[in-house]
Structure 1
Amino acid sequence: MAESAFSPAQWQRRVLFWSGAILVGLAAVGFAKAADHAYALFQSIVRHNGYWPFLLTPLTFALLAWLTQGALRPTRGSGIPQAIAALKLEDTSFRDTLLSLRMAIGKMGLTLAALAGGASIGREGPTVHVGAGLLYSLGRRFGAHDAAASSRFILAGSAAGLAAAFNTPLAGVVFAIEEMTGAFEHRMSGILLTAVIIAGVVSLGILGNYAYFGRFDIGLPLGKAWLAVLATGTVCGLAGGLFARLIIPSEGGLRGLVGRIRKRQPVVFAAVCGLVLVALSQLTNEGLYGTGYDQAKAILEGHTSTVEAFGLLKFCANIASYWAGIPGGIFSPALAVGAGLGANLSAFLPDAGLSAVVLLGMAAYLAGVTQAPLTAAVISMELTANQQMILPIMAACLLARATSSLVCRKPVYRALADTLIENHVRIDAEARAKEVAILPVVDATRPDKKSGIAE
Structure 2
Amino acid sequence: MSEHPEPETGVEALLSTQVWKRRAALWGGAVLVALAAILFARASDFAFSLFQRVLHASPWWVLALTPAVFALVAWITHHGLQATRGSGIPQVIAGLEMDADERQRHLSLKVASAKLVLTVAGLLGGASIGREGPTVHVGAGLMQALGRALGFRGEHQARRFLLAGGAAGLAAAFNTPLAGVVFAIEELSNSFEHRVSGTLLTAVIVGGVVSLAVVGNYTYFGRVHALLPLRQAWLAVPLCGVVCGLAGGLFSRLLLEAMAGRPRWLGVLRARHPVLLAAACGLLLAGLGIAFGAGAFGTGYEQARGLVQGQATVGHEFGLVKFLANLVSYVAGIPGGLFSPALAVGAGLGHNLSLLLPAAPASALVLLGMCGYLAGVTQAPLTAAVISMELTDNQDMLLPILATVLLARTASSLICPLPIYKALALRLLPPAPATPRQGAA
The residue that corresponds to 2:253 in the other structure is: 245
Shift of the 256–211 alpha-carbon distance from structure 1 to 2, 3 Å rule, reads farther
- 1:47: Cα distance to partner? 1.0
The residue that corresponds to 2:114 in the other structure is: 106
Shift of the 401–23 alpha-carbon distance from structure 1 to 2, 3 Å rule, reads same
User: Distance in 2 between the 1:83 and 1:413 partners?
Assistant: 10
The residue that corresponds to 2:73 in the other structure is: 64
User: Distance in 2 between the 1:287 and 1:398 partners?
Assistant: 28
**What is the 5 A alignment of 1:355-370?**
355-370=363-378
User: Distance in 1 between the 2:228 and 2:83 partners?
Assistant: 43
Identify which of 35, 40, 46 aligns with 2:44: 35
Identify which of 55, 67, 81 aligns with 2:90: 81
Is the partner of 1:282 in helix, strand or coil? helix
Shift of the 345–167 alpha-carbon distance from structure 1 to 2, 3 Å rule, reads same
The residue that corresponds to 1:236 in the other structure is: 244
Aligned AA (2:238):
L
When structure 1 is superposed on structure 2, of 40-49 and 3-12 the one drifting more is 3-12
User: Distance in 1 between the 2:136 and 2:267 partners?
Assistant: 26
Aligned AA (1:277):
L
State the aligned residue count.
424
Shift of the 251–107 alpha-carbon distance from structure 1 to 2, 3 Å rule, reads closer
Identify which of 189, 192, 207 aligns with 1:199: 207
**What is the 5 A alignment of 1:24-423?**
24-89=33-98, 91-182=99-190, 188-249=196-257, 254-422=262-430
User: Distance in 2 between the 1:29 and 1:251 partners?
Assistant: 31
Asked whether the 8 Å contact 1:249–1:255 carries over to 2, the reply is yes
Is the partner of 1:34 in helix, strand or coil? helix
- 1:255: Cα distance to partner? 4.3
- 1:187: Cα distance to partner? 6.6
Note the aligned Cα RMSD (angstroms): 1.9
User: Distance in 2 between the 1:70 and 1:201 partners?
Assistant: 38
Shift of the 39–395 alpha-carbon distance from structure 1 to 2, 3 Å rule, reads same
Q: Please give the per-residue CA displacement for 1:149-172, whole angstroms capped at 9, x wherever unaligned.
A: 100000011110000000111111
User: Distance in 2 between the 1:251 and 1:62 partners?
Assistant: 18
Question: Which structure has the greater CA radius of gyration?
Answer: 1
Shift of the 185–234 alpha-carbon distance from structure 1 to 2, 3 Å rule, reads closer
Q: Please give the per-residue CA displacement for 1:28-69, whole angstroms capped at 9, x wherever unaligned.
A: 111111111010010011111211100000000001111001
% same residue: 58
Shift of the 257–23 alpha-carbon distance from structure 1 to 2, 3 Å rule, reads same
Runs of at least 5 residues in structure 2 that lack an aligned partner in the other structure: 434-441
User: Distance in 2 between the 1:102 and 1:250 partners?
Assistant: 27
Is the partner of 1:291 in helix, strand or coil? coil
Asked whether the 8 Å contact 2:177–2:205 carries over to 1, the reply is yes
- 1:258: Cα distance to partner? 2.0
User: Distance in 2 between the 1:288 and 1:407 partners?
Assistant: 25
Aligned AA (1:261):
L
Is the partner of 2:292 in helix, strand or coil? coil
- 1:84: Cα distance to partner? 0.3
Asked whether the 8 Å contact 1:346–1:354 carries over to 2, the reply is yes
User: Distance in 1 between the 2:313 and 2:426 partners?
Assistant: 41
**What is the 5 A alignment of 1:421-432?**
421-422=429-430
- 1:281: Cα distance to partner? 1.1
When structure 1 is superposed on structure 2, of 297-306 and 245-254 the one drifting more is 245-254
User: Distance in 1 between the 2:402 and 2:97 partners?
Assistant: 28
- 1:183: Cα distance to partner? 7.1
Is the partner of 1:188 in helix, strand or coil? coil
User: Distance in 2 between the 1:410 and 1:286 partners?
Assistant: 33
When structure 1 is superposed on structure 2, of 45-54 and 119-128 the one drifting more is 45-54
User: Distance in 2 between the 1:251 and 1:136 partners?
Assistant: 27
Asked whether the 8 Å contact 2:258–2:266 carries over to 1, the reply is no
Asked whether the 8 Å contact 2:385–2:405 carries over to 1, the reply is yes
- 1:194: Cα distance to partner? 1.5
The residue that corresponds to 1:435 in the other structure is: none
User: Distance in 2 between the 1:245 and 1:257 partners?
Assistant: 18
Q: Please give the per-residue CA displacement for 1:75-100, whole angstroms capped at 9, x wherever unaligned.
A: 000000000000123x0111101110
- 1:141: Cα distance to partner? 1.3
Is the partner of 2:296 in helix, strand or coil? coil
When structure 1 is superposed on structure 2, of 186-195 and 202-211 the one drifting more is 186-195
User: Distance in 2 between the 1:113 and 1:34 partners?
Assistant: 10
Could you state the TM-score of these two structures normalised by the residue count of structure 2? 0.93
- 1:254: Cα distance to partner? 4.1
Aligned AA (1:58):
P
User: Distance in 1 between the 2:192 and 2:211 partners?
Assistant: 26
Aligned AA (2:180):
G
Asked whether the 8 Å contact 1:237–1:364 carries over to 2, the reply is yes
Asked whether the 8 Å contact 1:249–1:259 carries over to 2, the reply is no
The residue that corresponds to 1:14 in the other structure is: 23
Could you state the TM-score of these two structures normalised by the residue count of structure 1? 0.90
